[in-house]
Amino acid sequence: MTFASVLVLNGPNLNLLGTREPAIYGRETLADVARRCAQAGERLGLAVDFRQSNAEHQLIDWLHDARERIDGIVINPAAYTHTSVALADALSAIAKPVIEVHISNVHKREAFRHHSYVSPIAEAIIVGCGTQGYVLALERMAVLLDKGTEQ
Ligand code: DQA
C-alpha cells in the first residue's frame, strides 16, 4: 500500500495532557494520543508524523518544512487557535487539506475560545470528542486523500 503523509501538529500546553485539567482534557497523555494516531495511520494507509511544540515559530517552521512533503495536516493549535494570524497564514500557504481538532468542546467554554483563526481554512473541524477526535480526523483525512471508502 502507498502511504499518504499526514502531519499531526499539536500546539502549546498539549505536552501536559493527562495531568493538565483532566476534567476538561481527560487522562490520556500526548504519548497515548501519538500511539493511537500511529495505529489509526496503519489501518488507514497514512504515514503519521506526530509533533508538539509550545512555540508558535516552531509550528510554523514545521509547516514550511512539510510543505512539499505532506499530503494533509491535522492540527490542534491549542491556544494559538484563538490568537495566531501567523499560524493561520502558514496553513493557508500550504495547498493541502487541513482538519482542526479540539479535545474539548470550545463552544461550551469561555467566549474567547469561540473564535478560531484556523476554522476558515479547515476542511473539517472536530470539537468535543476528546482525544478520539484525532482518530476521527485521520479517518476523515483518509477519505479526503482518497484512501477511504466513504465520501
Ligand atoms: C484546545 C482548546 C483551546 O481553547 C485550548 O487553549 C487548548 C486545547 C482543545 O484541544 O480543547 O489548549 O485546543
Per-residue pLDDT of 17-37, as tens digits, reads: 999 999 999 999 999 999 999
The domain total for the chain is 1
Distance, in Å, from the CA atom of 69 to the CA atom of 85, rounded to the nearest integer, reads 23
Angle at 113 between CA 107 and CA 118, to 5 degrees: 100
Distance, in Å, from the CA atom of 28 to the CA atom of 43, rounded to the nearest integer, reads 21
Would 42 be classed as within a structural domain?
yes
Here the CATH number for the domain that contains residue 12 is: 3.40.50.9100
Q: Which residues are bridge partners to 73 per DSSP?
A: 7, 98
Q: Which atom of ligand 1 is nearest to the CA of 105?
A: 11
C-alpha cell, 97: 487539506
What share of residues in the chain are helix, strand, coil (percent, to 5)?
A: 45, 20, 40
Give me the mean pLDDT over the 109-137 stretch. 97
Would 149 be classed as within a structural domain?
no
Closest C-alpha to 53, from 98, 6, 15: 15
Would 138 be classed as within a structural domain?
yes
Confidence of residue 3 (pLDDT cuts 50, 70, 90): confident
Would 24 be classed as within a structural domain?
yes
pLDDT of residue 120: 98
**134 CB-side CA count, 13 A:** 28
Distance, in Å, from the CA atom of 71 to the CA atom of 52, rounded to the nearest integer, reads 19
Among 80, 102, 117, 134, the active-site one is: 102
Would 97 be classed as within a structural domain?
yes
Would 150 be classed as within a structural domain?
no
Would 129 be classed as within a structural domain?
yes
Angle at 109 between CA 51 and CA 114, to 5 degrees: 75
Would 151 be classed as within a structural domain?
no
Distance, in Å, from the CA atom of 27 to the CA atom of 32, rounded to the nearest integer, reads 10
**Catalytic residue at 134?**
no
pLDDT of residue 99: 98
Domain ranges, residue 10:
4-144
**Catalytic residue at 102?**
yes
pLDDT of residue 90: 98
Q: How far is the CA of 137 from the centre of ligand 1 (A)?
A: 16
